[in-house]
Structure 1
């Protein structure tokens, strides 16, 4: 007799969870960083300036639900001061980084396209600026320009352009010897046509990445100049001024006056670093399709 067959229940096939590609992760990271930065400016608009009013009845309060960042020695809300200070520091840092990136691309293109003599002079200028101690150059330029927002912007713009200019110069020197550039010249294309259709599309990703990665340095150095007393006045909140004012109160146990604004600055600067690295992943031809 044949043994009865035993039918086993069928197990449903488990659909594997699709893995996120590097490009998808980069897009998600960029969107998250941009969303946080937009929310920061929206929060500054919603908070307004009411938290900057002096209130001696609520002075030196520790962080709580009513005051998440506590209050300072004048009863001002530290959350409001931190958010407004971050927005002000970001605006100054972004403007300074934008000016510095324009200087970088202009001098980089001049060094890569205007012959050996111009290249030698600009290369010497780049090496001189990079060899100068960074903080000393920032302080000297800011002091010479009278301090304030204008002095910070000029100081950061003057001191941060060499690295990006060197990258653009090296990219141009490599592109000039490419086969498609020589072919375009043999076909009778003008230098302006070659620059617009061949050089600019190759330089734009490098410029954008360099610009984004320049933001953290500009923001930190702008805050550092204010911390040292060469930047903004204490009448307007800024992260550098908050840290400078809080140093005298750390020894008395009011840790939140420096720790929370400092961590907020580090977190915001790190977001720009993440944004720049993921933008590089999106724009780099070697990783854009992974």
Structure 2
């Protein structure tokens, strides 16, 4: 029988490795984060300055992403604005994750504490999200501090619910019961038994909150309640670009919009990968 008559054997499917995929996404995200944070301070002096002779220039070798109506280089402003957004996002996501962890651990202190944390979480989840963001930022007077507080106080409920459930499962385990029988306090058990086992959920939750934090920072800055106007901000750049797009200056909005979307999508993918890894059976379900 000729070789052509031999049945074609299907190639075995390659095993999926979610750990490798998550590691790859993590390396890309960390490399991007490092490039943004390291590149912003290295901008040449005057890169963000107004230049009346270079107003509204289309992309060209001297200005790869063009300039705005004040002659400021779009590439330099976008890099500085992304660095500002990343810093705000890290602080806001870290604060929100800390709130979620404290409430998740507090729910294990007793039935009354559990009902209190559960009711507070459901109440926060039932409130209009962005409206609450605007109200808190307005009450704080806007600015960078207002954005951080607003995001920190509105992004904890979903992670808190996950941590609360995981903490209750761990608190019901045999080794926790033995520790309590040996006279260990609830605080000792929370610090030595509960918190270490919650690290995967904490890390995944932080990475999931981070892109939402920078997107909401841009949204608040867009309506004038975010980062101070004199600081570079993606939201401010997008707000300023509205009238320039009508004049045909499309490049003014393209760079900040695409940069923000790229950062958010990469960290969103990383968060999804980490969340699958922290689930049952290494996230293969």
Is TM (by shorter chain) over 0.5? yes
Correspondence for 2:202 among 197, 203, 207 = 207
The equivalent of 2:248 in structure 1 is 253
Q: Does 1:38 align with 2:38?
A: no
Change (3 A) 1:22 1:123: closer
Name the residue aligned to 1:7: none
Q: Which runs of 5+ in 2 are unaligned?
A: 1-13
Most deviating of 250-259 and 182-191: 182-191
Give the TM-score taking structure 1 as reference length.
0.86
Partner of 1:167: 162
Q: 79, 83, 92: which is aligned to 2:79?
A: 83
Matched, 1:96 2:92: yes
Aligned match of 2:63 in 67, 71, 96? 67
* 1:188 Cα deviation after fit: 5.7
8 Å contact kept, 1:242–1:261 = yes
Would the alpha carbon gap of residues 252 and 166 (structure 1) be closer, same or farther in structure 2, given more than 3 Å must change?
Answer: same
Task: Give how far 1:19 is off.
Answer: 7.2
Matches within 5 A, 1:220-235: 220-235=215-230
* Secondary structure in 1 matching 2:198: helix
Partner of 2:153, secondary structure, is helix
- Cα distance in structure 2, aligned partners of 1:143 and 1:171: 35
TM-score normalised according to structure 2 size: 0.88
Q: Where does the alignment leave 5 or more consecutive residues of structure 1 unmatched?
A: 1-17
Alignment check: 8 A CA contact 2:53 2:71 kept: yes
Larger radius of gyration: 1
Note if 1:198 corresponds to 2:193.
Answer: yes
Instruction: Find the counterpart in structure 2 of residue 110 from structure 1.
Output: 106
Indicate if the aligned counterparts of 1:96 and 1:156 stay in contact, CA closer than 8 A: yes
| Superposed CA RMSD | 2.3
Once the two structures are TM-superposed, the CA of residue 176 in structure 1 deviates from its matched residue by 2.2
